[in-house]
Amino acid sequence: MKHLGKQSKQPTSPNIKILDKVKNNNVGSSYVIRLTQPEFTCLCPITGQPDFAHIVIDYIPNKWIVESKSLKLFFNSYRDSKSFHENTTMEIVESINKLLNPVWIRIGGYWYPRGGIPIDIFWQNKIPPKKAWVPDQEVTPYRGRG
């Protein structure tokens, strides 16, 4: 473990090496883990203005699960990173997918509007196993004026 139980310096740029994994003691159970980051932020690569998102990742672990402190540091490492919504969302899920090689994984990147248009990005690696209960993401981060 690089971070758990240790003083960790905030990474300045995203890198899969930030992430740690721990052994899954329930291999074969087809249970779903949900990772949620409701205050994700990065920078627009054109304007340098902050972009905000609600990120939801669901996965069925295989041999490994992601260690949560390292995940928090990984998410926070994007704060000064310049990237389009689509690239950022896919980079996050590809990093976790590569680290864990889960049975199944999906991401919902719910980006708050800039210029009046919210951009939401969704991806999953395959259809989840039939015996797995996968809840809806049901995220509505932008409510507008009401």
Q: Residue 18 falls within a domain, yes or no?
A: no
Query: Any idea what DSSP says for residue 129?
Result: P
Q: How far apart are CA 63 and CA 101, in angstroms?
A: 8
Q: Residue 12 falls within a domain, yes or no?
A: no
Q: Residue 119 falls within a domain, yes or no?
A: yes
pLDDT, tens digit, for every residue of 15-56? 999 999 999 999 999 999 999 999 999 999 999 999 999 999
pTM over 0.85: yes
Q: Residue 22 falls within a domain, yes or no?
A: no
Which stretches of 5-144 are assigned E, i.e. beta strand? 21-23, 33-43, 50-60, 64-66, 104-114, 117-124
Q: Residue 91 falls within a domain, yes or no?
A: yes
pLDDT, tens digit, for every residue of 45-100? 999 999 999 999 999 999 999 999 999 999 999 999 999 999 999 999 999 999 99
Q: Which residues are catalytic?
A: 44, 51
